[in-house]
Chains A and B, each alone.
Chain A
């Protein structure tokens, strides 16, 4: 490793880091928030046994879980324009990743909701609450606490999955590294650096997860 490469890596570090801050992390947060809403919706539809919807959400989970995310990305970004529907790279990635988080996390959320004793739901009914009021005020808050560790796992996984969006022309961390390397031919060092950036972001998330779990524990 000579001086030129050291200078180049220091320079590119800032660029990769900023790509993470400006693209990968916003994509992660936006996809995870939307995905979590979908996951709760899917779980509650199944628990409340809403006739037709229950069937539809099952089909959704089945399709999303049984097809590769990259294929879904290609369909949305390269496929949909042929029928006149056009999304930017960021929006395409956001749609696909939200749907993916929603499908995978719905099972986590469903199990967490099931873990709240049914007696508490009955107590809500006796207090005059409706099913949805009971879910919002009593069941879901407790389910979130139970689901927190596995959901943290999902968000960390999602940070890394955002690199797939490289394939639909989204200039995130990996694409930035790729662009620099294609000019300088230092692929080895730039990919190592890209890996380091993901390592940093995910480590920060891990620390946040631990702190949040401790805070939740204090409130029981």
Chain B
């Protein structure tokens, strides 16, 4: 129901995305893994029209969009159908938690205030922030801010939600609350694409895993297969090096402590 076809992007001579294609089915939670600089964040930003791809097409619910060129009207319609959660939350500093969730509904969707606030309040309750609706972002912890950002991404009830390293900017002890909200969404059958470094999360929550390196998809597999039976040498090396749960094999001496 959501797919990217032949996405290319270069910054100068640097090829960041080399003909990347990806299909996502309804209800899939796709974890995109890979080393820094592999192009996974760029892929997500291109899919969110935050970075313009050099070429590529995108299909959602039967509608196709050109990733290099899109009319303002199509873009508005597309943005209603997807949500985006940033690594650095990017909450609006001049709006309360509730104001952050309802701004898009009120301004872009022209929804009456009461209706938008009803939706906003319900979403904030869902991410466990019913008691923080009137707080400004500066008065919220990182984990709370990211949960507000997730509620904001859910406001238009999107068909697909993109997460760009949603826990990378958080203190380790705050990642849990954000990941559990994402897991809850997965349990509800939300379609999500999550760029992440959280191996544990990818293993336990994702239905599929995509491994990227040097602007290409190296391996694409079900989450179970990816971690227990990786197909490519490169993926094997990545998993054994970045996981502490693989049992004895592949552990480095530091990890044994």
Chain A interfacial positions (CB closer than 8 Å to B): 116-117, 119-120, 122-130, 133, 137-138, 141-142, 145, 219-220
Contact = CB atoms under 8 A, between A and B. Distances in A.
A127 B90 contact: no
Contacts of A219: 136
Nearest to A138: B92
B8 to A, nearest CB: 22
26 contacts: A117-B90, A119-B86, A120-B90, A120-B93, A124-B103, A124-B104, A126-B153, A127-B79, A127-B107, A127-B108, A127-B152, A127-B155, A128-B80, A128-B109, A128-B156, A129-B103, A129-B107, A129-B108, A130-B72, A137-B92, A137-B107, A138-B92, A142-B93, A142-B94, A145-B94, A220-B93
A128 B91 CA distance: 15
Interface of B: 48-50, 72, 76, 79-80, 82-84, 86, 88, 90-95, 103-104, 107-109, 136, 138, 149, 152-153, 155-156
Contacts of B138: 220
Contacts of B82: 126
Contacts, number: 71
A126 B79 contact: yes
Q: Is the interface of A mostly helix, strand, loop or mixed?
A: helix
B79 A128 contact: yes
Contacts of B107: 127-129, 133, 137
A129 B92 contact: no
Contact of B103 (A117, A122, A127): A127
